C-alpha cells in the first residue's frame, strides 16, 4: 500500500467510525453513471452556478449597493463631473480600478448567460427525451423552478449597476408589477419602497441577488442532485440497457475525474469569454437618469422573449369605467405577467398533462428517442418556435435596420409569424417523424460500402462487413465480491446480462428477501 492509499483509508476510517459512512460511500463510489454528451448540459449549468458564486463574492467586496447620488471624480475621464449613483460609480471602479475587476465582472456576466442557456437546453433535452416521466416529476418541478429563479436573479443582477440601460429595465419592471390587477399598485410601491424610482430598489435588489435567491437556488440544486443520485440517472436505449439497470462508468474514479475536469473546462471557456468578449460595457451607456434613454438596446438574452412579447402585443387594454373611478387591466399585464404565468404553468403541469393522454403510470428509466414520439416532439417544436419568434421580436428595431425595411412591416411580419411558424414547424416535424417511422432501417447502423476502382477505370462496389465492437458489460468486481460476502444483500442481486441484451435474473429477492421486485 502506498502512503497515499494509507492516508485515504485512514481518513475514510475516521469518518466511518464517527458517521458510519462505509455503506453509503461504497454505494456511491460504485454508482454507475450512464455516459452521453447530452447529460453534460445540466453539468454546465451547475458549474456556471459555482463560477457565479466565486466571481460574485469577489464583486460584492467592491460593489456599493446605494442609489445615493454623487459626483464622479474617478479614473474614467469621459464621465468625470457627472452625477451618478454610488452603485454605478462603484461598478466603474470595479471595471477600471480594481485589479482584475473587469475580467471578473465580465466572467460573472457571461457565467450568468451561460447558466440560464444551459438550464434551457438541459430542459429541452429532458423534454424531448421524456426524462421527466415517473419517477422524475419532482426533479422536473425543481428544475423548472430553478429556471424561473435563475431568470429573475439574472435580471436583478443585470439591474444592479444602475446604468442607463438597466435602469430603463427597472422602470419597465415597475410598470409590469404595476399592471397586476387589484394589487399591482400596492405591490409596486412595496417592492420599490415608493413610487418609481425611489431610493430603495438597488439595496433591496442587492440583498435578493446576493443572498436570498442564491440560497434558494443552491438549496434546490442540492435537492435536484440528491434526487438524481438517489433515483440513478436515466440512460438511452442500447445493448444491455434495460429499464431495471444502469450501464455506464463508475463514479469512482472515471466519472468523478470526468465531471471534475469538466468543471475546469467550463470555467476555462467562460473565463475566455469574460476576457476576450466584451459584455455590458456600462461606461458607454452612462448612469441612469430617469428622463434619458438609449436606442437599440436589448436586454440579456433570457429576457428577450418577454421584451419581444411586450413589443408584439397590440395596443389593447381592458378598461372598465371612466379615468377617475374606473378600473383597468393594463396592456403590459398580458405579455409580461399572463404570458410568463401560462408559460411556466404549462411547463410545471406538462408531466401530468402528458399522463392524462398516455395513461402511463409506469416508471421510465430509459430515455425516449424524440423521433419515437411524434406528438410530444412536434408539440415541443411548435411551442419552442413560438418563443423563438418572441425572442426575435425583441430586436424589431435592429431587424428593421438590418433588412432596411420599415418597423411597421417588421412588426406585422413577426406578429403573423408568431402564430404561423409554430403551426408550420409543429406540422412539418410531425409529418417528418411519421415518415421516418415508416422507414424499416431507421436507427440501424448504416453498412459501409467499399468502392474499388480497377486498373481499367471500372468501379466495383462491395459491402464491407461490419465488425461490431462487442463490448462486454460487467459488474464492478468490488460489487460482485461484496455480494458474495453478504449473500445477495448488497445493492440488490446480480443482474446477468446475456448476449441479446436481455436481463435474466438468477434469483428473485430484494433487501428484505420477501418482496419481489416487479420487472418488465
Residues of this chain, 489-508, that bind another protein according to CB under 8 A = 491-495, 497
- Residue 157 CB, nearest approach to another protein (Å): 19
Q: Does 358 bind another protein (CB under 8 A)?
A: no
Give the x/- contact pattern for another protein in 218-237, rule: CB under 8 A: -------------xx-----
Nearer of residues 321 and 457 to another protein, judged by Cβ = 321
Identify any residues that bridge with 451 across adjacent strands, giving them in sequence order. 461
Long-range CB pairs of 319-328, under 8 A, 24+ apart, other chains included: 327/181
Q: Which of 103, 141, 279, 384 binds another protein (CB under 8 A)?
A: 103
Total residues at interface with another protein (CB under 8 A): 138
Alpha-carbon distances, residue 429 vs 218, 374, 421 (angstroms): 37, 8, 12
Q: Which of 74, 214, 237, 250 binds another protein (CB under 8 A)?
A: 250
- Residue 265 CB, nearest approach to another protein (Å): 4
On whether the CB atoms of residues 320 and 350 are closer than 8 A, the answer is no
Name the nearest CA neighbour of 143 among 46, 28, 235: 46
Residues in 396-415 that interact with another protein by CB under 8 A: 396-397, 407-408, 411
Q: Which of 99, 359, 452, 504 binds another protein (CB under 8 A)?
A: 99
On whether the CB atoms of residues 451 and 460 are closer than 8 A, the answer is yes
**Residue 320 DSSP SS3:** strand
Nearer of residues 68 and 80 to another protein, judged by Cβ = 68
Alpha-carbon distances, residue 62 vs 96, 111, 158, 280 (angstroms): 12, 19, 16, 18
- Residue 230 CB, nearest approach to another protein (Å): 8
Q: Which of 271, 339, 347, 367 binds another protein (CB under 8 A)?
A: 271
Q: Residue 182: which region, alpha, beta or left (left: phi > 0; alpha: psi -120 to 50)?
A: left
Distance (Å, whole) CA 11 – CA 13? 5
Distance (Å, whole) CA 26 – CA 478? 9
Residues in 64-93 that interact with another protein by CB under 8 A: 69
Q: 483 CB contacts (<8 Å, ≥6 apart)?
A: 489, 490, 493, 494
Q: Does 361 bind another protein (CB under 8 A)?
A: no
Give the x/- contact pattern for another protein in 301-340, rule: CB under 8 A: ------x--xxxxxxxx-xxxxxxxxxxxxxx--xx----
Residues in 458-477 that interact with another protein by CB under 8 A: 471, 473-477
- Residue 261 CB, nearest approach to another protein (Å): 3
Nearer of residues 290 and 341 to another protein, judged by Cβ = 290
Amino acid at each position: 500500500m502506498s502512503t497515499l492509499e494509507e492516508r485515504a483509508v485512514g481518513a475514510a476510517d475516521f469518518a466511518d467510525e464517527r458517521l458510519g459512512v462505509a455503506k453509503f460511500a461504497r454505494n456511491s463510489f460504485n454508482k454507475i453513471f450512464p455516459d452521453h454528451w447530452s447529460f453534460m448540459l445540466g453539468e454546465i449549468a451547475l458549474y456556471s452556478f459555482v463560477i457565479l458564486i466565486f466571481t460574485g463574492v469577489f464583486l460584492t467586496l467592491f460593489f456599493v449597493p446605494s442609489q445615493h447620488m454623487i459626483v464622479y471624480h474617478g479614473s474614467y475621464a469621459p464621465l468625470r463631473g457627472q452625477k451618478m449613483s454610488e452603485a454605478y460609480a462603484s461598478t466603474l471602479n470595479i471595471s477600471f480600478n480594481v485589479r482584475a475587476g473587469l475580467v471578473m465582472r465580465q466572467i460573472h456576466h457571461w457565467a450568468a448567460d451561460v447558466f440560464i442557456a444551459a438550464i434551457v437546453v438541459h430542459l429541452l433535452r429532458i423534454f424531448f427525451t421524456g426524462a421527466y416521466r415517473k419517477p422524475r416529476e419532482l426533479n422536473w418541478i425543481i428544475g423548472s423552478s430553478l429556471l424561473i429563479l435563475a431568470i429573475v436573479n439574472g435580471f436583478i443582477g443585470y439591474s444592479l449597476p444602475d446604468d442607463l440601460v438597466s435602469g430603463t429595465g427597472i422602470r419597465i419592471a415597475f410598470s409590469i408589477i404595476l399592471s397586476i390587477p387589484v394589487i399591482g399598485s400596492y405591490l409596486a410601491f412595496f417592492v420599490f419602497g415608493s413610487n418609481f424610482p425611489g431610493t430603495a430598489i438597488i439595496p433591496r435588489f442587492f440583498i435578493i441577488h446576493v443572498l436570498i435567491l442564491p440560497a434558494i437556488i443552491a438549496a434546490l440544486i442540492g435537492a435536484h442532485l440528491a434526487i438524481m443520485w438517489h433515483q440513478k440517472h436515466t440512460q438511452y436505449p442500447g445493448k444491455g440497457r434495460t429499464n431495471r439497470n444502469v450501464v455506464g462508468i463508475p463514479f469512482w474514479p472515471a466519472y468523478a475525474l470526468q465531471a471534475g475536469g469538466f468543471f475546469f473546462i467550463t470555467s476555462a471557456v467562460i473565463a475566455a469569454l469574460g476576457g476576450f468578449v466584451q459584455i455590458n460595457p456600462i461606461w458607454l451607456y452612462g448612469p441612469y437618469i430617469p428622463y434619458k434613454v438609449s436606442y437599440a438596446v436589448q436586454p440579456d438574452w433570457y429576457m428577450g422573449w418577454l421584451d419581444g412579447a411586450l413589443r408584439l402585443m397590440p395596443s389593447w387594454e381592458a378598461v372598465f369605467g371612466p379615468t377617475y373611478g374606473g378600473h383597468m387591466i393594463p396592456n403590459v399585464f398580458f405579455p409580461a405577467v399572463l404570458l410568463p404565468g401560462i408559460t411556466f404553468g404549462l411547463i410545471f403541469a406538462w408531466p401530468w398533462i402528458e399522463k392524462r393522454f398516455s395513461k402511463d403510470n409506469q416508471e421510465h428509466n430509459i430515455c425516449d428517442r424524440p423521433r419515437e414520439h411524434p406528438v410530444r416532439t412536434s408539440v415541443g417544436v411548435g411551442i419552442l418556435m413560438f418563443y423563438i419568434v418572441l425572442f426575435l421580436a425583441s430586436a424589431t428595431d435592429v431587424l428593421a435596420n438590418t433588412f432596411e425595411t420599415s418597423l411597421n412591416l417588421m412588426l406585422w411580419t413577426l406578429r403573423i409569424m408568431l402564430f404561423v411558424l409554430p403551426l408550420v414547424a409543429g406540422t412539418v416535424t410531425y409529418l417528418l417523424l411519421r415518415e421516418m417511422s415508416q422507414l424499416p432501417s431507421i436507427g440501424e447502423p448504416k453498412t459501409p460500402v467499399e468502392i474499388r476502382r480497377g486498373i481499367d477505370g471500372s468501379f466495383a462496389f462491395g459491402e464491407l462487413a461490419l465488425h461490431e465492437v462487442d463490448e462486454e458489460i460487467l459488474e464492478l468486481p468490488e460489487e460482485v465480491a461484496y455480494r458474495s460476502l453478504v449473500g445477495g444483500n448488497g445493492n440488490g442481486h446480480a443482474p446477468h446480462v446475456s448476449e441479446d441484451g436481455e436481463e435474466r435474473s438468477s434469483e428473485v429477492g430484494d433487501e428484505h428477501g420477501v418482496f419481489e421486485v416487479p420487472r418488465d
